[in-house]
Structure 1
Amino acid sequence: MTYKIRTLEEQLASVQDAIEKIESGAQEYQIGGRKLTRADLATLYAREAALRSAIAAQNGQNVSYARMDMT
């Protein structure tokens, strides 16, 4: 089995897609007889911040990102 190495930008897009789906009400869903649950938002927000920082560092920027949940 081979694994595709995804860029930081691709990983960030995946994390942001998961965040968007959860925020729009798709935290948990069922397909056929299988029930699927996405990661919790706190974990995804932390991963998003880490990826943004890594991308900034990769691009020679010294930027920190924070995301606040106002709910």
Structure 2
Amino acid sequence: MAIKTYEQQLESVQAAIAEVEGGAQSYEMDGRTLTRGDLATLYAREERLLGLVRRGTAGVRFRRGAMVG
């Protein structure tokens, strides 16, 4: 499995947050209960990734379509 970029990780975390906020926190099937990620944990991870993404793109310059610096 390839390592995801911070941007890809952020997209995954935000998708998980949307699922949980939409009511998919936990459900029961065949007598077993599945609980998805805790919102507080997901929000904390989202904030961390947002900071990493912002820091990674700060000061990045483009010159004629190529990233420099």
In the superposition, relative to structure 1, how do residues 54 and 27 fare at CA in structure 2: closer, same or farther (>3 Å)? same
Aligned to 1:37: 35
Count of aligned pairs between the two proteins: 59
TM-score, structure 1 as length reference:
0.72
What secondary structure sits across from 2:23 in the alignment? Answer: coil
Q: CA deviation at 1:32?
A: 5.5
Query: What amino acid does structure 1 have at the position aligned with 2:10?
Result: L
CA distance in 2 between counterparts of 1:39 and 1:26 reads 10
What secondary structure sits across from 1:25 in the alignment? Answer: helix
Structure 1: runs of 5 or more not aligned? 62-71
Query: What amino acid does structure 2 have at the position aligned with 1:10?
Result: Q
Q: CA deviation at 1:19?
A: 0.4
TM-score, structure 2 as length reference:
0.73
Query: What amino acid does structure 2 have at the position aligned with 1:42?
Result: A
CA distance in 2 between counterparts of 1:33 and 1:9 reads 37
CA distance in 2 between counterparts of 1:31 and 1:11 reads 28
Aligned to 1:56: 54
Task: Give 1 or 2: higher strand fraction.
Answer: 2
Structure 2: runs of 5 or more not aligned? 60-69
Bigger CA radius of gyration: 2
CA distance in 1 between counterparts of 2:53 and 2:19 reads 23
Aligned to 2:63: none
